[in-house]
Structure 1
Amino acid sequence: MTVLAGDMLARQAIVTDSDLQIASPGLTVRAGQNSNQLNYALRGQSLDAFSDTRPGVLPYFNEIQLDGVGGGSSAFYDLQSVQVLKGPQGTLFGRNSTGGAVLFTSVRPSDAFGGYVSGRLGNYNSRQIEGAINVPIMADKVMARVAGFYEKRDGYQENRFQNNRAGNVDRYGLRGSLTVNVTNQIKNELVVDYLHSDGNSLSGLINSLDPSGAVPLILLTNFGNQPQYNFLINAFTGGAAGCNSTTNNCAAAFAAANPKLDPGGVASYLNTQNARGPYVIETDGENKYKGRNLIISNITTFELTPDTKLRNIFGYTNIEANSTGDIDGTAFGIDSNGPNGGKNDTTKQYSEELQLGGKAFAGKLNYVIGGFYSHETNVDLTTSLLLQFPPLTSTTRYHKLTTRDMYAGYGQGTFDLSNATGIQGLSATLGARFTHEKIKFDVLPDDTAYQAPPARQAIFNFNQQKSYSNVSWTLGLEEQVNSNLMIYVASRRSYKNGGYNGIQDPVPGPGSTGGDGYGQETLTDAEVGLKYHGRVGDMPTQFNLAVYQNWIMQGQRVAYVLLGSTPAAVTVNVPKSKVSGFELDGTIRPAKWLSIGGSLNYTNAQFTDGRVSINGNPVLFATYPDTPKWSGSVFAELQAPIHASVTASLRGDLYSQSSFYFSSTANNNTGAKINGYSLANFRLGIEDSNAGWSLAANLKNAFNRVYYVGGIATGELFQFNTVVPGAPRTFLIEARFKF
C-alpha cells in the first residue's frame, strides 16, 4: 500500500494521474488511443484498449467503485488522501479486482469554520483556481463543506493540417459534503461530486511500421506511385473502380483532392513526423472530448458498541465520456472515430454495501463482514470511418448495451495468535468472498450488425447473456516483531469475470472461434514483505519491501486481426501468464531540514503459454504489455526556517522507467514498444503557517525530455503503430491562502 496524504499531494504538486505514477511506486498510468483514454496498471494487471474487459486495477471515490471508461475518478483537489493498494482485493470492501485499487478520499467537513483558496498560472496559457470552505451549521451536529476548481490550458500539440492545437483542457468541478451526527452513535456522511471536462485530446502519432500487416496501407497510401495505387484500388474493388493511367486515374484524382498529403505515403511521412517530434502533428480526424461525472456517496455509520460498527454505503455514479479523434495519427484518412458519434461511453451504477466490523474475543479478533450489490449499465457507441480512399471508404457503427448485476458476500478477520503460540505479535488473516454476476449484452438497433446480409445475420445473436459465480480468498500470517518492524506472508486469489466485446459483430462464442465473447480470468498470488517505521541511529526512517509472484490463468487480452475482410479487435483468453517482482520504497531524515527517499521496482512479466487460435489462425502472445521491467524514483526535500513561522522549501524528484511493450503480440510487431525515459521535477516554496499563506513554483519535466505513455498497436492489422506523448516541460506558479 502507498498512502499519499493531502499535504503530500500539494508538496509534490500531484494534480493529474500521470503525477500519481511518479509518486506511487510500481503504478503505471497507461494511455491508449489518446491522452483521455487512461487506465492504471499494477503488477502486470492492466486493460487492453478496445477489449471491453474490466480493468485489473479499480478506482474508488469515497468508497464508491467507479467503472466509467474515460470519465476518470475525480479531479485532484481538496483530497484527504490517495491510497494505492496492490494485489487482489475484494475480501474487505467493494468489488473484487485482480491487480489492486486506487482509493480517492475527499476532505470531510469538520466542526471549525475555515477553508482555502489557491490560484496557479503557467505556460501553455495554463490557469487554475480551486478552493474550499468549511461551515459548522450546528456545532458538532451538522457540518458542511463546499469545494470546487476550474482549469484551462492550451494543448501541447500543434496540428498543422487543421491549424489548431491538440490536448486543450477546459474543465471544472464542484463538490458538496454534509456530515450529520444524528446521535453520538449514528453518523451520516453525504458527498456529491460533479466534474465537467471539455477540450480535446493529445493525439497519438505514427511512430513505426510493420510491413507484414494484413492491410497493405504502406503501398495504398503511396499515391505518388500511380500504377501501383491504381492497381491496389482495383484489387480491393474486384476491378469495379476501373482505375487506369488515362481515362480514370484514381491516383491523380486522389492527389488533386488532397494536396497537403505526402505522395510517398505513411513510409515517407513517418520520417517527417520523427524529425519534428511529437508536439507538431498532422491529423485529419475531428478531435473533441467531453466528459461528465456525477458521483454520490452516502455512508451511514451506527456504533452498536464501542468495539462494533455497522456501516451502510450507498453509491450512485453517472459517468459519460465522448471523444472523437484520429486513430491512425496521420492525415491520410485511414481510421478515425468519425463525425457521426465518435466514441461514447455512458455508465450508470447503483451500489449498496452493508458492513459489520469491529473486535471480538477480548480484542484478539479484528473482523469485517459485508454484502455488496451493484447494478450497472454501460451504453457504448464506437464509430470508425475507415480507408478514405474512394471508393473504399466505409463506416462502422458499434452500439451496444451491457448490463451487469453483481451480488457478493465477503468477510475477513485477523486473529492475534500471541498467547496460543507464544510468539508475541503473531497473527493470522483469513478472508473469503462469494460473487455472483450476471451479464446481459444487447445490440442496439443502429448497430452495423443489422446491415449485414441475411446469411450473416443468421449466425448473430443480438441479445446474449451469461452468469459467473466464484469464491475469492486471502490467507496470511503477520508478525509484529517489535513496535517498528512487521513482517508478513500472504496468498490471495481473485477473478475477472467474462463478458462481450462490443466492437465486434455479435457472433456467439469465444474470440478464439471468431465470436464476441471471452471467459473468466483467474489470478493467484504469493507475497512476502516487511514494513519498518523507526530510527536508524538518530534518523527517522521508514521503508517497505514486498516480493511477489502472480499466476494468471486465462488472461483477458486483445489481438488486432481481420475477421474475414473486417478489421477487428478480438478479445481472447490467453492460457497462462506469470508475473514476479519486488517493490522497495523508503524515506530517511538525516537532519530536521532534510528528507531523502525513493523507490525501486522490478517486474518480470511473461506469457508462459501464449498460444491462441483465432478463427483457425494461430496467434502467439509473447510480449507482456504495459509493464516496465524497472522503474524507480529518488527525491530530496530541504526545509529552512526563515523567520518565526515562515519556512522555505526546495524539493527535487527524479523518476525513471525502462522500456515496455504496448501490445501482447509485439513479437510479430516489433515497433509496439516504448523506450524508457527519465523525468525530473522541482518545487520551490515558501509558507507562513501562522498567517496561512504560501507561494510555490513547480517545474515538471525540467529537462524537456520527449517520452511516450502508451499507444495503439495496429501494426499487424494496418502496418503501423501509434504512440501518445507525455507532457513537455511545464511550469506553474501557485499562491495559496488558508483561513
Structure 2
Amino acid sequence: MIRFSQKHKLMAVLAATTYLFALPVVVRAQAADQSTGQSAGRADGGLGEIVVTAQRRQQNVQDVPIAITAVTGEALRDSGVRDPRDLTLLVPSLSMQAGTAASTTSLFIRGVGIGDFNSNTTGAVGVYVDDVFLGANAGKLFNVFDSEGIEVLKGPQGTLYGRNTTAGAIRFSSRKPTDTLSGDVSALYGRFNEVRIEGGVGGPIAGDVLTARISGLYHRNDGTTFNRVTGHRVNNINLWAGRGILDFKPDADTLVRLTVHGGANNGGARQFQHRGQGVDFFGDPAFLPDGTPTDGFGYADTDGDPYAGDYDVEGKERIRVFGASLLGQFTFGGVQLTSITAYEQVNRATLEDTDASPNQVITAYYEDRPRQFSQELRLQSVGENTFNWIVGGFYFHDNLKTDSAFDLLRGLRDPSAPLEGFDPANSLGLLRYPYTQKTDSYAVFGQGDYKLTDRLTATLGLRYSHDRIGMKFASLFDALGTVNPRKAFSDVVVPLIDFNESKGFNDLSWRAALNYKVDNALIYASFSKGYNSGGFAGGASTDAAQLTPFGSERLYAYEVGFKTDLFDRHLRFNASGFYYDYRDLQVFIFDLSGPVPVQRKLNAGNARIYGLEAEITAVPVRNLELFTAFTLMDSKYKTFTALGGASLAGNRLVNAPEFAGAAGIRLTVPMANGSEVRAKVDGTYTSSFFLYPDNLEANKVKGYGLLNARVGWAAPGGRYEIALWGKNLTKTEYITGIFPIITQDQLNYNEPRTYGIELSAHF
C-alpha cells in the first residue's frame, strides 16, 4: 500500500492544482489566440511537436505508444544537465545510485536496476549515443554536450534495440551536420571556480553532398569538498571531450556518417563521508563520550558537514575514452537498410581513499580497460503504411581487463615485524584481484505494426538473445606490494583464487501491444518481456564460491496509457499505469559475515512493482509554460532469502521511492526591441527509499527536494543570451550511496548548492 506523507500530498496537490488551474485558463487563451494569431512555443499558439526516433523512425512523441520522456537540447541546458546522472532532475521515474568513484553510477527506471558499481556491470538501463550502445560505466560521462536532446524509454526494450534491457533505455542525440554554416557556443562560470565551455560548428564541405560538424567540451572546477588534513579542495572536475561527424549524402536515398569522439578526465576521485559503525576491530563497542559511533581506530567525523572531511589520501581518477562509428543508411524499393558499426574503448585508473578518514584502513586502486565492438543491421519499411515492419541483428563483443587492489588495514601493520606484519588471516595486507571478462552477445529481433483499422494498430515484436560470458579471475595477497598494480608484484605472494569459467545465457523476449487513436488522443496497452543476461560478480573475492555465476533476470511488464493534446495543443496530458512481474532479479549486496565486507551479486527471487505516472505541460497564456510530472510506485520482494537465511520477502526494492515528482514554470517576457527576458524555476521531490534489500534504517535515504532557477536576457532572434543560474538553491543534502567497509560506512552525498553565469551564442 502506498502511504503519503505531508510532502507527498503537497506535491500531488501541486500537480493536480496545476492541471485544474490550466484548464479554464487554456480555454481563455485559445479564444484570445483566434484573434491574435500569436502564442508561445508555436506560431498559432500552444505546444510544438517533439520528434523522436524511439521506434526507429521519425514520429511525433505523442504518436508513439510507449512511455517516453523526450527532452530537447535547449531544455537540457536550461536545467543544468551535465551528464546522465543529472537526468533525474527531469524524469521522476529515473533515479541513480552513486558508486565508489566519480565515474561509476547505477541507473534505475521505475525501481528496476542494480546498484553494482563494478567494471563488468552492464546495468538494467541501456545508454545509447547516436544509436551506439555504451557498455562501460566510465565512458558515459563524456557525451552530454552539443546535444539535440534525449529520449528516456521506460520499460523493457529489446525488439527494436541492439542490447536488451529490463528497465529501459536512454538515447542521447548529438547535433548533426547542416547544409548551411551554423554554430553554437556557451561559456559558464560558477561557484567553486567552475568553468564549462561548450561549442560546435558545422556546415557544408562540398555542397549538400559532404557536410561536417565538430564540437567540444571543457569542464573544470576546484572541488566541492574541503580536506581538513591538507587544506585542499577535493572532488574536483577536470575533463574535456570532442566529437567530429562527417556526412556523405551522394543522393536523397543514401547517407554514410562517420563519427569519431574522444575525451579525458584528470579530476579527483570521489572523496566520501565517514560514518563509524560503533565497533572496533575485535567487535567491541566503540563510541565517543557523547555517543557518536567511531570506527576501529576510534575516529569519527563529527562536524556534520558532508562537504568536508579528513583524508590522508587525495584520490585521483584518470580516464581516457575513444570511439568511432560508421553509419550506413540506404533506401531502395520502399525499404531502408541501416548498418551501424562501432568501436569504443576506455582506460580508467582510480586511486581512492576508501575509508574517508585520516587513518590507513582501506586504500583502493581500480584499473579497467574495456574494449567493445558492436555491429547492428536493420531492414525496415519506409513511410507510414498499413503494415510497418523492422527486422535486425545485433552483435556485441566486449573484452574487459582489470587489475585492481585494496590495501587493507595498513595502519595495523608493524613495519618492524617480519614482512611488515603481513597477516592474510586477519586481512592485513594488499589484496589484488586482476581479471579478464569476455562477452559475446548475439541477437535477432523484429517488430511489426499492422493497422487493423484507420484508428486501431496492433504491434508484435520478438527477440532472441544469446550471451556467452567468460571470466578469468585471480585473487591473491601481496605482502610488500604497493596499491598500484602497475608496479611489479613482490616476492611474497599468497594465492587465494585461480578461477576460469564461462557460461552461456539464452532468452526469447517479446512485445505485444494495441494502440487506438481518437481525435487528439492515443490510447495504448502493451505486454512485454525484458531480459538481462546473467554473469559473474566483478568485485574483490577471496573464495571461489563468491564467483558462482548468477542467473539472468526477466521482467514481464503490463502497461496501459494515453497521450493527448487538448485545447488546440495548449495542454498536453500523458499518463500510464504499469505492473511489473520481476523474476530472478539481480541484486548487489555486501556479505558482512567475515572480517572484510565482500561484494556479492546474486539472484534475489521474485518481486513485483506497480505504479502510475503522468506528465502534464500547459501553455495557459502567451509566453507562460507550466510543467509537472510525477510517479507513484509500490514495490516489494515476493521471495528473497538473504545469505544468512533470513527472509526479506515484503521489503521494498532498492532505489524505488513511493513518490517522485517534478514541477516547473517558464516565463518569457518580450521587450520592445525584440529581445526577451526568460525565467525558469523548477523543483523536484523524492520520497524516502532504501539502498539495500535489507531495508535497514541505516541504509535508508530520507525524502528530499531540490529547487533550481535560471533567469536570462536573449537578444532579438535568440542569437545571444546571458543568464544567471542556480542549482540546489535550498542547500539540500542527501545520500546517494552507502557502502560498508571495515568498522565503518562510506557515504556518498549529492552536490552542494551551485550558481553562476552563462553566456551563449547561436549563428
State the TM-score, normalizing by the size of structure 2: 0.83
Q: Is the 8 A contact 1:477 1:490 kept in 2?
A: yes
Shift of 1:522: 1.3
Q: 1:686 and 1:585 mapped to 2: Cα distance? A: 28
- Report which stretch shifted further, 618-627 or 53-62: 618-627
In the alignment, what sits opposite 2:755? 731
Q: Could you say which residue in structure 2 is the equivalent of 1:11?
A: 78
1:545 aligns with 2:575: yes
Match of 1:324 in 2: 351
SS of the equivalent of 1:10 reads helix
Distance 1:562 1:676, change over 3 A: closer
Distance 1:217 1:644, change over 3 A: farther
Q: 1:398 to 1:221 in 2, by over 3 A?
A: farther
Report the 3-state secondary structure (helix = DSSP H, G, I; strand = E; otherwise coil) of the residue aligned with 1:690. Answer: helix
CA deviation after TM superposition for structure 1 residue 359, in Å: 5.0
Whole-angstrom distance in 2 between the partners of 1:263 and 1:430: 57
**Could you say what secondary structure the match of 2:123 adopts?**
coil
Number of residue pairs aligned between Structure 1 and Structure 2: 670
1:285–1:333 Cα contact (<8 Å) kept: no
Shift of 1:620: 4.0
Matched, 1:300 2:322: no
Shift of 1:221: 9.4
Tell me how far apart the structure 2 counterparts of residues 638 and 216 of structure 1 sit (CA, whole Å).
61
**Do the aligned partners of residues 351 and 265 (structure 1) sit closer, same or farther apart at CA in structure 2, a change above 3 Å counting?**
closer
What does residue range 587-602 of structure 1 map to in structure 2 within 5 Å?
587-602=617-632
Match of 1:206 among 252, 269, 274: 274
> Residues 682-701 of structure 1 correspond to what in structure 2 (within 5 A)?
682-690=709-717, 692-701=719-728
Which amino acid is 2:733 matched to? V
Checking the alignment, whether the CA contact within 8 Å between 1:494 and 1:522 is kept in structure 2 is: yes
Partner of 1:382: 404
Please say if 1:526 is aligned against 2:558.
yes
Q: Which of 108, 124, 144 is equivalent to 1:76? A: 144
User: 2:493 & 2:648 partners in 1: Cα distance?
Assistant: 34
Partners in 2 of 1:666 and 1:534 — Cα distance? 43
Listed as ranges, the matches of 1:235-634 within 5 Å are 265=295, 269-270=299-300, 272-273=301-302, 275-305=303-333, 307-337=334-364, 342-359=365-382, 363-387=385-409, 388-390=411-413, 391=421, 393-418=428-453, 424-443=454-473, 462-482=499-519, 484-505=520-541, 514-535=546-567, 540-562=570-592, 567-613=597-643, 618=646, 620=648, 622-634=651-663
1:163-187 deviations in Å (ceiling 9; x for gaps):
3222111111111010000333211
In structure 2, C-alpha distance between the alignment counterparts of 1:296 and 1:640, rounded to whole Å: 43
**Partner of residue 32, structure 1:** 99
Once the two structures are superposed, residues 96-132 of structure 1 have per-residue CA deviations (whole angstroms, 9 ceiling, x without a partner) of 0000111111001011012122211111011121211
Structure 1 match to 2:186? 118
Q: Which residue of 2 aligns with 1:662?
A: 691
Distance 1:165 1:127 in 2: 16
Check whether the contact 1:411–1:433 (CA below 8 A) recurs between aligned residues.
yes
Asked if the contact 2:278–2:293 (Cα under 8 Å) also holds between the matched residues in 1, the reply is: no
What's the CA shift for 1:682? 0.5
Match of 2:16 in 1: none
* 2:164 counterpart SS class: coil
Aligned Cα RMSD in Å?
2.8
User: Which deviations, in whole Å up to 9, do the C-alpha atoms of 1:496-537 show, x marking residues without a partner?
Assistant: 1111113344866xxxx64432111111111111111232xx
The yes-or-no answer on 1:722 pairing with 2:746 is yes
User: Does residue 169 of the first structure (1) align with residue 237 of the second (2)?
Assistant: yes
Q: Is the 8 A contact 1:204 1:327 kept in 2?
A: yes
Letter in 1 for 2:702: N
Hey, what's the Cα distance between the residues in 2 that align with 1:217 and 1:722?
Answer: 19
**Is the 1:25–1:585 contact (alpha carbons within 8 Å) kept by the matching residues of 2?**
no
8 Å contact from structure 1 (residues 516, 570) kept in 2: no
Q: Secondary structure at the match of 2:717?
A: coil
Mind listing any 5+ residue stretches in structure 1 that lack a counterpart? 225-261, 419-423
Partner of 2:33: none
More moved, 431-440 vs 199-208:
199-208
Alignment CA distance shift 1:454-1:680 (3 Å): closer
Query: Equivalents in 2 of 1:116, 1:719: separation in Å?
Result: 51
C-alpha contact (below 8 Å) 2:713/2:721 kept by paired residues? yes
Which range moved further: 701-710 or 348-357? 701-710
- In structure 1, how many angstroms separate the alpha carbons of the residues matched to 2:641 and 2:490? 34
Indicate how the Cα distance of structure 1 residues 581 and 447 shifts in structure 2: closer, same or farther if over 3 A, else same: farther
What amino acid maps onto 2:759 in structure 1?
A
Cα deviation, 1:293-331, whole Å, max 9, x if unaligned, reads 2121211000013x3111001111112322221223222
Verify the 8 A CA contact 1:35 1:202 in the aligned structure 2.
Answer: yes
Give the alignment of 1:207-246 within 5 angstroms: 207=275, 209=277, 216=282, 219=285
TM-fit CA distance, 1:570: 1.6
Hey, what does 1:228 align to over in structure 2? none
Q: Percent of pairs identical after alignment?
A: 26
The aligned residue for residue 202 of structure 2 is: 134
Residues 53 and 556, structure 1, Cα contact 8 Å, conserved in 2: no
Cα offset for 1:149? 1.5
State the shift of 1:623 in Å. 4.3
Q: Which residue in 2 is equivalent to 1:230? A: none
Per the normalisation by structure 1, the TM-score is: 0.85
CA deviations on 1:611-666 (whole Å, 9 max, x unpaired) are 1446xx55747442122221101101110111343111110001111111111223
Secondary structure of residue in 2 paired with 1:499: coil
Deviation at 1:25, TM superposition (A): 2.7
Cα gap change, 1:265 to 1:303, in 2 (>3 Å): closer
Instruction: Determine helix, strand or coil for the equivalent of 1:9.
Output: helix
The 3 A distance-change label for structure 1 pair 646 and 302 is same
1:43 maps to which of 110, 122, 135: 110
Task: After TM superposition, give the deviation of residue 350 of structure 1 in Å.
Answer: 0.6
Q: Distance in 1 between matches of 2:532 and 2:188?
A: 41
Q: Distance in 2 between matches of 1:606 and 1:451?
A: 49
The structure with the largest strand share of the pair is 1
**2:678 is aligned with 1:649:** yes
Q: Check conservation: 2:720, 2:761, Cα contact below 8 A.
A: yes
Are the structure 2 counterparts of residues 207 and 660 from structure 1 closer, same or farther at C-alpha, using a change threshold of 3 Å? farther
Distance 1:308 1:485 in 2: 29
Note the alpha carbon deviations across 1:585-627, whole angstroms, 9 max, x for none. 111011112111111111222111111446xx55747442122
Distance in 2, Cα, partners of 1:325 & 1:66: 25
Q: CA deviation at 1:334?
A: 2.2
